[in-house]
Amino acid sequence: MKRNPKQVHRALFLALQADAKNYPGGIKALAEALDLNGSTLANGLNPDHDCPPPTFATIVEIILLAQAKRTTFQICSLTGQTTMDIDMGSADLNEESQVKHFLSLVAAASACLSAGTEHLKDGKFDASERKELAPLLLELNQVTASLYKRFSE
């Protein structure tokens, strides 16, 4: 007996349903924007309902319209990946911008390594140390992604 894909990938459909509900006006407004019946869309997103899920094309449109971050995270997690909010900005490809961003990367890495090394003197990271390091790691990732964008275009 074939299982309902909404049950097999329940976490994904719960995320998709939550993102759709957060769309301004909820699932009904989202359905209108997609030119779909509101009840059909709501039932299609509900992992506890037996009707078939929306088409792949509809799911992609929901992700785009609703800026579905929960859904994107769940999709990435299916392949062992993760997402994070990063303002990639516009890629200024001039040499001065690349040097500036590289120096920002060096500064972010230095701050993270300095704090991490200091906290690791006792051989562990306690809760307050992890709380301090988390934003430093996020900053390092963001600067790295921004620099990568400038180098790869």
The whole-angstrom separation of Cα 3 and Cα 50 is 10
In contact, 133 and 116? CB cutoff 8 Å: yes
Identify the pLDDT of residue 93: 63
Q: What are the tokens at 131? A: 């709380």
- Say yes or no to pLDDT of 149 above 70: yes
- Find tokens 């097999």 and name the residue: 8
Tell whether 117 and 56 lie within a shared domain: no
The whole-angstrom separation of Cα 143 and Cα 103 is 10
Identify the pLDDT of residue 6: 92
Kindly report, residue by residue over 55-106, the tens digit of the pLDDT.
Answer: 999 999 999 999 999 999 999 999 998 887 766 556 566 777 778 888 988 9
pLDDT confidence tier of residue 145, bands split at 50, 70 and 90: confident
Whether 37 is covered by a domain: the verdict is yes
Kindly report, residue by residue over 8-51, the tens digit of the pLDDT.
Answer: 999 999 999 999 999 999 999 999 999 999 999 999 999 999 99
Higher-pLDDT residue of 137, 43: 43
End-of-domain residue from the set 77, 105, 127: 77
End-of-domain residue from the set 77, 110, 137: 77
Q: How many domains does the chain have?
A: 2
Tell whether 9 and 73 lie within a shared domain: yes
